[in-house]
Amino acid sequence: MDSSEEYEDSGNESSGEDVEFAMERDDRAANERNPEDDYPFSVLSTKDIVEHMVDSIREANTVLQLPPTTMRILLNHFGWDREKLLEAYYDGDQEQLFRDARIVNPTVTRAPVIIPASGVEECEICYLTKRSEMMYGMECGHRFCKQCWSEYLTTKIIEEGMGQTIACAAHNCPILVDDKTVTELVTDPKVKLKYQHLITNSFVQCNRLMRWCPSADCTNAIRVQWVDWRPVTCACGFTFCFQCGHGWHDPVKCQWLKKWLKKCDDDSETSNWIAANTKECPKCGATIEKDGGCNHMVCKNQNCKADFCWVCLGPWDPHGSSWYNCNRFDELEARSARDAQERSRAALQRYLFYCNRYMNHMQSLKFEHKLYASVKDKMEEMQQHNMSWIEVQFLKKAVDILCLCRQTLMYTYVFAFYLGKTNDSAIFEDNQKDLESATEKLSEYLERDITSENLADIKQKVQDKYRYCESRRQVLLDHVHEGYEKDLWAYNTTIL
């Protein structure tokens, strides 16, 4: 791999969308980037990534002077951290370094492979006798026929998706196959291209300062100078958090978003429902669900058949006595059971409160994105009523702001779920309420109120409302970030 020409660019061609709606991506990127541009990043195409990888190899080789394919495997072993590689190479055991990287040390002179005088050899894979020029061996000394090598590499690349970690075809040989071997032995262009993609993907994934754009069908990567939870915008228009790779989720930090998504995906809330709607028999421990209004429970366990009260979990017989009722029953174990039941029910209700609002804004955001199509039609209609292209751009701008506000509101409910009650949290909720109210009004204007007859009147309303939404969104975010910087936020310790 001496030059980037060994790899092919697999980038997508332009989608051919209209100019004005292509501008939407640029506008959104401008809105999301830091005003002071204090988090520089660059967007790399597949070709750019390959060139960057080749440059990294050449830069490291100005010092070590190793074969390029060997250098690539070494750099990959150290996560493409050149300083770590140089430190290990000069300050440690070089032979152990190459063993750990699964490479034959190229600086050590080894005895040449002896070719039989007959000029024929037996392949230890297919056990056929072939001429020596039809055989191939790596530095580890294992030789097989080129056809077996090709079939072996094709299987590893296509069926198993292996690129960086293909080991020698010999049994229990750990030495990795280098790029030169693959290029020489694999003849199918599709297999070569797949291998190139696997190597490129490994380069990006191992490099902590690079990340693939998570947008569907995008082949670009983002490169930064340091890792942080900051928004980066790909050339495809998708804005995401570099640190975690999710869509930009301000104001909630990555660790809280990760916990939230896990909470939404796993069975924890099913367990909460069970805890909130079922109890255990106080005698045998069997789980019982109440399916009627009567509080007199009879355990269905054939070996138990205990009679007890659903409310207090005490024996049922005394409940008919005038001196015995659930309000006065004070047995410690029963009281603990009631407390656990109430806590579980309250936790479930709290989660559902925030989850429903989070999901509602997520669903609304999907609908708002569809507004671009209808807004485009309205803009074209307005231009037929003696309005210029520039004059109708307020509609697209309004949808841009609406989508940004929906996205922010969606994540405010994740932030609020983990937030403890303080004066600052009350201010946050007021800001959230103001933004939510304004966003709903703007959405209503764009979906229902704009017609050619009321255009002059509604235009000013839409412009005023999206400017207000934009300002309230910024107020909310500024307040949250101020709280992060000054450590003002208290978190709900009961759910952490």
Do 326 and 356 belong to one domain? no
Are 398 and 325 contained in the same domain?
Answer: no
Is residue 294 among the annotated active site residues? Answer: yes
To the question of pTM greater than 0.85 for the whole model, the response is no
Say if residue 367 is in the same domain as residue 443. Answer: yes
Tell me, what's the pLDDT at 32?
A: 43
287 shares its domain with 382: no
Asked if 357 and 310 sit in the same domain, the reply is no
- Residues 369 and 476 reside in one and the same domain: yes
My answer on whether 323 and 405 are in the same domain is no
> Do residues 378 and 461 share a domain?
yes
DSSP per position, 293-354: S--EEE---TTT--EEETTT-SBSGGGGSTT--TTT---HHHHHHHHHHHHHHHHHHHHHHH
Range of the domain at 308: 281-330
Residues of the chain with pLDDT under 50: 1-36, 322-324, 327-331
**Is the alpha carbon torsion for 272, 273, 276, 277 positive or negative?**
negative
Residue 62 lies in a domain: no
In a domain, 84, yes or no: no
In a domain, residue 41? The reply is no
**CB within 8 Å of 136: residues ≥ 6 apart:** 143, 144, 145, 146, 149, 181, 184, 185
The residue from 166, 194, 222 where one domain ends is: 194
The whole-angstrom separation of Cα 21 and Cα 409 is: 24
- Establish if 146 belongs to a structural domain: yes
Residue from 12, 21, 13, 16 nearest 369 by CA: 21
CA distance 63 to 82: 10
Please state the domain count of the chain.
3
- What pLDDT score was predicted for residue 292? 60
Cis check: omega of the bond before 214, within 30 degrees of 0: no
CATH at residue 171: 3.30.40.10
Same domain (yes/no): 307, 434:
no
- 396 is written with which tokens? 């697209």
Q: CA 154 to CA 148: how far, in whole Å?
A: 10
**223 lies in a domain?**
no
Indicate whether 477 and 391 sit together in one domain: yes
Residue 467 has φ and ψ, to the nearest 5°, of -70, -40
d(C-alpha 342, C-alpha 312), whole Å = 12
Question: Would residue 215 count as lying in a domain?
Answer: no
Check which CATH number belongs to the domain holding 450 and give it: 1.20.120.1750
What are the tokens at 309?
């009260």
Q: Which two tokens stand for residue 35?
A: 């005003």
For residues 372 and 481, state if they share a domain.
Answer: yes
Phi/psi of residue 356, nearest 5 degrees: -60, -40
* End-to-end Cα, the chain, rounded Å: 49
| 8 A C-beta contact, residue 50 and residue 426 | no
**414 and 466, same domain (yes or no):** yes
- How high is the pLDDT of residue 91? 84
Domain boundary among 179, 194, 209: 194
Given 171, 194, 217, the domain boundary residue is 194
296-305 burial: b if 16+ Cβ within 10 Å, else e: ebebeeeeee
Which of 375, 399, 379 has the alpha carbon at shortest distance from 389? 379
CA 212 to CA 221: how far, in whole Å?
4
Q: In angstroms, rounded to a whole number, what is the distance separating the alpha carbons of residues 310 and 290?
A: 8
DSSP 266: S
Catalytic residue among 145, 294, 355, 403: 294
In-domain check, residue 203: no
> Would you say residue 218 lies in a domain?
no
> How many Cα atoms are found within 13 Å in the side-chain-facing hemisphere of 248?
23
DSSP summary character for residue 454: S
Question: What is the DSSP secondary-structure string of 168-185?
Answer: PSSTT--PBPPHHHHHHH
Question: Which token pair is 343?
Answer: 């806590």
